[in-house]
Structure 1
């Protein structure tokens, strides 16, 4: 298992759409940023559940901070350097920061329908427990 330390972008390796996005991230991010599937990451060491990792991309910062969803995408873009960092900053400031999670949830809920997506990309339903 890969330790859950930063900087790292952690994605759902069972999802073809997420894997394609991770391939793009590998090209954009600096060499010291790991882009790894959650299935091979020691999430417990960072206090992150597999259920969370199945439903949102995660960013593990250098200082041990963990963010998910739209804030994780923003952090990764900021780490990518210009011109991508400008988009990351934009995603981090109001009012864009307020609506970005809605867009992220819309994409995540429909990732199996997006280019490259497969039935395995469908986000599991929340536990009824």
Structure 2
């Protein structure tokens, strides 16, 4: 097993063409600092053939240090778990099925409407 310092950083992959996504990534980066790498799927999709392009287009993807992949709300909570004081969201997601279900539904709705929400919020 590699020492943690030699392990790759966890990676959150997002839609680089989405203004709302970019704003959320900026906020996430401000919380996690250098603990998490952030890349647009348009930059990395070809390097990660195990993730179909449809999954990148539908939701954020998170590749953890061990290579495990999560998507949607779970991806966001896993990324935020690397920020001081934010691990509780992942704990709720993992241990409270109702929280996980609601989180994924809200995430899916926002993801489907992200371009309209970007315009509505004046982020274009």
Normalising by the residue count of structure 2, what TM-score does the alignment of the two structures yield?
Answer: 0.80
| CA displacement, residues 23-61 of structure 1 (integer Å, 9 cap, x when unaligned) | 111111141310110111145535012221011001110
Count of equivalent residues = 113
Greater helix percent: which structure? 2
Find the aligned partners of 1:110 and 1:46 in 2 and give their Cα distance: 26
Q: Is the 8 A contact 2:35 2:82 kept in 1?
A: no
2:36 to 14, 33, 52: 33
Note closer, same or farther for the CA distance 1:99–1:43 as it changes in structure 2 (3 Å cut).
farther
Find the aligned partners of 1:46 and 1:13 in 2 and give their Cα distance: 18
Find the aligned partners of 1:52 and 1:116 in 2 and give their Cα distance: 26
Note closer, same or farther for the CA distance 1:85–1:23 as it changes in structure 2 (3 Å cut).
same
Of 58-67 and 100-109, deviating more is 100-109
Q: Residue 41 of structure 1 aligns to a residue in which SS?
A: helix
Q: Structure 2 stretches of 5 or more lacking a match? A: 1-7
Find the aligned partners of 2:16 and 2:116 in 1 and give their Cα distance: 17
Find the aligned partners of 1:86 and 1:110 in 2 and give their Cα distance: 27
Is the aligned partner of 1:68 residue 2:71? yes
Map of 2:91 onto structure 1: 89
Map of 2:103 onto structure 1: 100
Map of 1:58 onto structure 2: 61
